[in-house]
Amino acid sequence: MPKRALITGITGQDGSYLAELLLAHDYEIHGIIRRASSFNTERLDHIYEDPHNPKARMVLHYGDLSSSEQLTSLIYNLEPDEIYNLGAQSHVRVSFETPEYTGNVTGLGIVRILEAVRRSGIQTRFYQASSSEMFGASPPPQSEDTHFHPRSPYAVAKAYAHWTTVNYREAYNLFLSCGILFNHESPRRGETFVTRKITRALAKILAGKQKVLYLGNLDARRDWGYAPEYVEGMWRILQQDESEDYVLGTGESHSVREFVDEAFSYAGLDWREYVKIDYAYLRPSEVDHLLADASKARQKLGWEPTITFRQLVRIMVDADLQSEGISRAGEGEAILKEHFAEWHQWNGAVSQVLEGRRGTANVG
């Protein structure tokens, strides 16, 4: 019997990569998607199978983390072997504008899932997408033992969800694990996170569609890795004998300025001619420096990211150049070939997603 997984946030960056990885491991996947007035399954369309096909291994269901109704019935009816809670209002800057909504979805959503797990009595393994943002003002490097000092409504909500997961594990002896993941990026990264904002703007500048890139704090430092390697880490966390929490990150940090410089110079431009500061992008309270100490994941999971900062930038720039119809410098494709097995090559992972059969992967 194939394993059955339930994924919240399947339409997001990580959800789409995780779905691909689990399909490659022969899972049956159930994903929860939000009802929207326009299509929101762009990242999944390339792996979508018509549900009329009895062999379809990915099924999508409408639901929302702000309401128990569908979460509870899916957990009772599907009895998944594994549940990955990736759904969230995940944008830090936006959480300052929508703190109550962020608390409800990113924080309280976990209780709706864990109550259903506990009350149903099913045997399942649960993964919570915790975040390095929870470390906030705590100085680097940050590990599983580092004190949380959250600096945004998003981070506060994630800390609530994290401790709720730990509490349910201790109180009810359930298999519940948290991955405390540092920033991970890809061509599928949401367009308003800084890395993707930079690589997209660069491509548009080269295409003659944009003149200026407005950014906020260039001094912030992040530990940026490549998202497909992180979903492999999530999966490994749930394959362990014991449920525990793990930090995943590269152990190397760079400033936003360094990211801009690396991207623009790869495309042969001087970023200083295009980037301007817009104070609207500054945050009421900032996280200055995130840097992972992922030694526990290395030792216990055998997990170690292989894509370097330089390679990550090249993959992302190449993908955005391709989506603007500009011939890419070309290192991105070779990097994927060198680092990944069949499930993650340029054609399937990037080109097919860019071609986008927008909206085929919809229920209803």
Q: Of 84, 127, 154, 246, which one is the catalytic site residue?
A: 154
Binding partner at 12 among ligand NAP, ligand G4F, none, C-beta below 5 to 8 Å by kind: ligand NAP
What does DSSP say about strands 254-255 and 221-222: parallel, antiparallel, or unpaired? antiparallel
Please say if 16 is a catalytic residue.
Answer: no
Of 151 and 328, the one with the shorter C-beta distance to ligand NAP is 151
Q: Does the protein bind ligand G4F through residue 101 (CB under 6 A)?
A: no
CB of 56 vs ligand G4F, minimal distance in Å: 30
73 by DSSP, 3-state: which?
A: helix
Token readout for 328 is 């890419």
The position carrying tokens 């420096």 is 289
Exactly one of 90, 95, 250, 311 binds ligand G4F (CB under 6 A); that residue is: 90
CB of 172 vs ligand NAP, minimal distance in Å: 23
Binding partner at 197 among ligand NAP, ligand G4F, none, C-beta below 5 to 8 Å by kind: ligand G4F
Burial class for 236, CB neighbours closer than 10 Å (0-12, 13-18, 19+): middle
In angstroms, the CA 293 to CA 205 distance is 37
In angstroms, the CA 61 to CA 82 distance is 16
Q: Which residues pair with 289 in a beta bridge?
A: 221
Where are the extended beta strands (E) located within the chain? Answer: 4-8, 28-33, 58-62, 82-85, 125-131, 175-181, 184-185, 213-215, 221-222, 225-226, 246-248, 254-255, 275-277
Please say if 97 is a catalytic residue.
Answer: no
Exactly one of 129, 134, 275, 291 binds ligand NAP (CB under 6 A); that residue is: 129
Query: Which listed range, 189-197, 226-234, 237-245, 265-273, lies at the site for ligand G4F (CB under 6 A)?
Result: 189-197
Binding partner at 286 among ligand NAP, ligand G4F, none, C-beta below 5 to 8 Å by kind: ligand G4F
Count of residues in contact with ligand G4F, rule CB under 6 A: 22
Binding partner at 92 among ligand NAP, ligand G4F, none, C-beta below 5 to 8 Å by kind: ligand G4F
Write the interaction track for ligand NAP spanning residues 132-171; mark x where CB under 6 A is met and - where it is not.
Answer: ----------------------------------------
Exactly one of 72, 102, 131, 323 binds ligand NAP (CB under 6 A); that residue is: 131
Which residues inside 198-217 make contact with ligand G4F, applying CB under 6 A?
Answer: 215-217
Q: Which residues pair with 6 in a beta bridge?
A: 30, 83
The secondary structure of residue 200, as a DSSP letter, is H
Q: Does the protein bind ligand G4F through residue 193 (CB under 6 A)?
A: yes
Please say if 304 is a catalytic residue.
Answer: no
* DSSP codes, 267-297: TT--GGGTEEE-GGGS-SS---B--B--HHI
30 by DSSP, 3-state: which?
A: strand
Which residues inside 214-233 make contact with ligand G4F, applying CB under 6 A?
Answer: 215-217, 220, 222
In angstroms, the CA 58 to CA 361 distance is 10
Give me the half-sphere count of Cα atoms (radius 13 Å) on the Cβ side of residue 1: 5
Residues in contact with ligand G4F by the rule CB under 6 A: 90, 92-93, 131-133, 182-183, 192-194, 197, 215-217, 220, 222, 256, 281, 283, 286, 290
Q: Which residues of this chain interact with ligand NAP, rule CB under 6 A?
A: 8-9, 11-15, 34, 40, 64-66, 86-90, 105, 129, 131, 181, 183-184, 190
User: Which residues does the annotation mark as catalytic?
Assistant: 131, 133, 154
